[in-house]
Structure 1
Amino acid sequence: MGNQMDKLSHLSYAEVPTVDPNGMDTEEGPRIGVSYIFSNDDDEMEEVCTVDGSDKDPNKEEKQYDPRDEVECAVYYRDECIYEKSVKSANLEVYSPENLLNKCKAGDLVEFVATGQFPHWAVYVGDFQVVHLHRAELKNSFLTDASQGRRCRIVNDLYKFKALGPDMVVQNAMEQVGVKDRELSWRNSEGFAAWCRFGKRELKMGGEIRIGKQPYRLKIFMSEKHSHVLEFQSLEDMIMEKRRNDHLGRTAVLKELATHFCSVEQRKSEEPGAD
């Protein structure tokens, strides 16, 4: 199999078995135990498709970034938080590409965001340039070109892993420039950029052996008092689902979860012996 893995289709929440909410976040409601609940996520899709999979109209203006549609979440490996995105922190502030250049240092991770698109990640390598996974190839581009008009921000602190030194981050990125297609070890731009900065093999395709355990938990914050938790066998799988949620946006994700909960309650009410 090597570095190539089958692309799996997203399962609706209604198709995924629910489990009793024992363990973490018991007081916050039921969770879904999953191993594979993600959509295809490649950078060609990011550039040419809308949320519903139809082709973009080149004459239609892109939707601007809306901070209210950010999906707040946290990721745990066992009981350790390894990723967190919250509107209460300053890490969600975005800038124009031109303004971000004044803030970037070599080795920084940059995220480009727009409503209805997968977030696009890149590694800033200095001299106004980034290395990023774009259309199944690792490229060295000017930051302003890589942005394609999207807003952007520095996201060094979203993942809680210990970072490598800036020189090593840049070296990791530059050594991969020109790699493409079947030679790639990453399924999306986020996995590549995070690997450059943190060097963890779990960020690569097939970087972890799936042996039935589900040590990763993706906690989606639905409100201040309610959250929902999904479980995954690998960090790669978790990133795919997290990015799918970012692609949909908060409104669509909450609607999807509400539909799931209603479906679960309806099935329970139809079971023999139900009140």
Structure 2
Amino acid sequence: MGNQVEKLTHLSYEEVPTADPNGFDIEDDGPRIGVSYIFSSDDAELEDNGGIDKDQDQNQEEKHYDKRNELECAVFRRDECIYEKSSKTVDMGTYSPENLLNKCKPGDLVEFVATGQYPHWVVYVGDFQVVHLHRAEIKNSFLTDASRGRRGRIVSDLYKLKSLSPEVVVQNAMEQVGLKDRELSWRNSECFAAWCKFGKREFKIGGEIRIGKQPYRLKIQLSEKKAHILEFQSLEDLIMEKRRNDQTGRAVVIQELANHLNCVEEIRSENIAN
């Protein structure tokens, strides 16, 4: 029997197949089913408070962000760690846009964050300017304008991939300015910025063929000793889920997982009883 592919519209963890943290699938009696996560909306359209008027949004005070509600995680491609966000390995602190300007170098990736919003990634290209995917268009903006009141941090080292030279990163970004709508090859700002930095087709829409295998794992750190693992067919799908976690926050994600795991345990108990 060939590989089977099941497509889901992902809404919550109750609908997401998960993997045993130790790598065992105790109910695997048949062929492995690959899952392609078809998300119900593009998070690029949900950034910046879901489309608040630009002028109104920029006049707001600095947006709140509590890093204590940030979810630490790691991404694996088979056995290789290709992304890690942990307070033990990177500086998780955030800075005002004005302070960021003193830290950024051309080719750096910057992430702007605010509570309840998807992170917004940009490529710093020098002269106080960035290139970013915003509302279905690649734009060249001043860093302070792109921040839209959010605090930010340099995230060039989160992905454990070989970076292109700063000159090539800037060139990659600048050559895409003006692309919009169906001309775009990236689903969100993070995929675009990472593609500029690393040049990997996996960050592009349809950059990987989904053939049933699930080579990517998202390890969600629940506590110092506990973690939960989700499996994905493509890096693009995984990034979409990771960004949803960033938007909802640590407390909500942990509660969703607890509800899901309790439900699974109840079903198993019923099956054993029957």
**Shorter-chain TM-score category?**
0.7 to 0.9
**Between Structure 1 and Structure 2, how many residues are aligned?**
259
Q: SS of the residue aligned with 1:162?
A: coil
Kept in 2, the 8 Å contact 1:202–1:208? The answer is: yes
Q: SS of the residue aligned with 1:91?
A: coil
Kept in 1, the 8 Å contact 2:44–2:189? The answer is: yes
Matched, 1:10 2:10: yes
Q: Which residue does the alignment assign to 2:3?
A: none
Matched, 1:116 2:116: yes
* CA separation of 1:18 and 1:80: change in aligned 2, threshold 3 A: closer
- Matches of 1:18 and 1:42 in 2, distance apart? 23
TM superposition score normalised by structure 1: 0.86
1:130-167 deviation per Cα after TM superposition (whole angstroms, max 9, x unaligned): 00001100000000000001000000100000000000
Q: Which residue does the alignment assign to 2:47?
A: 46
Q: SS of the residue aligned with 1:49?
A: helix
- Matches of 1:115 and 1:16 in 2, distance apart? 24
* CA separation of 1:20 and 1:105: change in aligned 2, threshold 3 A: closer
- Matches of 2:19 and 2:190 in 1, distance apart? 30
Shift of 1:75: 0.2
* CA separation of 1:154 and 1:21: change in aligned 2, threshold 3 A: closer
- Matches of 1:43 and 1:239 in 2, distance apart? 13
Matches within 5 A, 1:218-233: 218-233=218-233
Structure 1 range deviating more: 158-167 or 84-93: 84-93
Shift of 1:262: 1.1
1:31-65 deviation per Cα after TM superposition (whole angstroms, max 9, x unaligned): xx853174523323112429xxx99x969867511
Kept in 2, the 8 Å contact 1:39–1:241? The answer is: no
- Matches of 1:62 and 1:95 in 2, distance apart? 11
Shift of 1:92: 1.1
| Superposition misfits of 4+ residues, deviation over 3 angstroms | 16-22, 57-63
Q: Which residue does the alignment assign to 1:139?
A: 139
TM superposition score normalised by structure 2: 0.87
- Matches of 2:38 and 2:266 in 1, distance apart? 22
1:221-270 deviation per Cα after TM superposition (whole angstroms, max 9, x unaligned): 00011100000001100100000000000010001001101111111222
Counterpart of 1:222 in structure 2: which amino acid? L
The runs of 5 or more residues in structure 1 that have no matched partner are: 1-6, 27-32
* CA separation of 1:242 and 1:38: change in aligned 2, threshold 3 A: farther
Matched, 1:262 2:268: no
Counterpart of 2:157 in structure 1: which amino acid? D
Aligned-pair identity in percent equals: 73
Q: Which residue does the alignment assign to 1:178?
A: 178
Kept in 2, the 8 Å contact 1:11–1:37? The answer is: no
Q: Which residue does the alignment assign to 2:249?
A: 249
